[in-house]
Amino acid sequence: MKILYAASNNQNAKIQLSRFLGAIGDKHQIKIAAYKKSSPKGINVDWTLDALLNIYRPDLLSLHNDNLSIYHEQVQNYDPDVVISDLEYFTSYVANDLNITLVQCSSSMINFALERKQKYNLKLFKFHAHSLNKDTINTQRTVNIIENSNCNFVYSHYGDMNTPPALTEGFGWVRPYHQVAKDYVPCQHYVTAGLFESNKRVLDVLKKYPDSVVFIDDCLEQHRNLLVKDIRIEDEYYCNLKNSAIFVCQGQASFLADAFYNGKFSLIYPNYEDAESITHSHLSNELGSGRIMTYSDDISPFADQKVSPKYLESIKYLHERIEEL
């Protein structure tokens, strides 16, 4: 099977892409389209999608540019059997125009996938309606992408809960890629944190507690009273996550899933500029797998708090879903 995987312009997409490639192996021919922000180090990217953006207004997406015509022609020449996208706008358009099977798989899709009653019960829009819908153009663009796709999968661990949230017809869960570490004394710390980038306020919280370690994407900066490591060293990251008393993150779906499958309760300091962080922080808080914290809160009462993941037979990984097509 010939696959084109298109990663959106965010850091969570980078983790999802990297782990998908590791899981699917070399059984299929795969080409990758990604932005600089979503391109994993050490992986060859066939199309850098930043070339499709307006250099003066990168937030203003337009289908009227010469580079998109070139990209369209090159995808047509590649002639993939399926396009996998995590709501990536340009590639979704090209797949539709060329009548290629289009599969969306994204943790961001949960805003659109949850049943209306479920959103009400979880109080998602009661507290965050403005933040999640302030960009009406992007919201409508995402709706159009979903409605014109052959499959829509929500990439989230919530599907493996005892009572998963109900999804609207036409959506399904896929299990996030993760590793489950073993108990190992050298990896025991009081606090382990997972961050995409350095955040002074979160780091200041961690410095209050002895024996804290933070894993940051491609971060070489060291901090006094805080051990900083590269999150790309996955075995070490998972081992520390599993064996620490407390796990801290900013509500990104991949980190929350890593904690969930390793039985860890998450303490969350949301990034309120990021809709995905807002959504997943709130859902984790409401569904009992995490707690939204303020920077003045004492995290000590949450030491060694556990969650119990359920590996439901109906939930599969993305590469397993692709094999079914």
Cβ proximity of 318 and 109 under 8 Å: no
Q: Which of the 8 DSSP states describes residue 250? A: -
pLDDT of residue 5: 98
Mean pLDDT for the stretch of residues 285-299: 95
In the predicted model, what is the mean pLDDT of the chain? 91
pLDDT of residue 222: 66
Start-end of CATH 3.40.50.2000 domains in the chain? 185-302
315 Cα distance to chain centroid = 17
Comparing CA positions, the residue from 159, 160, 181 lying closest to residue 171 is 159
Per the confidence metrics, is the pTM higher than 0.95? no
C-alpha–C-alpha distance, residues 321 and 325, integer Å: 7
Sheet holding 227-230, edge to edge: 227-230, 212-216, 191-195, 246-249, 266-268, 290-292
Residue 247 has pLDDT above 80, yes or no: yes
For the segment 65-106, what is each residue's pLDDT rounded down to a tens digit?
899 999 999 999 999 999 999 999 999 999 999 999 999 999
Per residue, what are the HEC states of 278-322?
HHHHHHHHHHCCEEECCCCCCCHHHCCCECCCCCCCCCECHHHHH
* Residue 43 amino acid letter: I
Sequence length of the chain is 325
Token digits of residue 243? 């064996």
pLDDT of residue 325: 86
Residue 127 has pLDDT above 80, yes or no: no
Question: DSSP readout, 157-180?
Answer: GGGGSSSPPPBPTTEEEEPPP---
Better pLDDT: 147 or 229: 147
Fold of 185-302: Rossmann fold (3.40.50)
pLDDT of residue 292: 96
Q: Which of the 8 DSSP states describes residue 226? A: B
Residue 168 has pLDDT above 70, yes or no: yes
**Domain 2-175+314-323, CATH:** 3.40.50
Comparing CA positions, the residue from 28, 150, 26 lying closest to residue 78 is 28
For the segment 173-214, what is each residue's pLDDT rounded down to a tens digit?
999 999 999 999 999 999 999 999 888 999 999 999 989 999
Q: How confident is the model at residue 249 (pLDDT cuts 50, 70, 90)?
A: very high
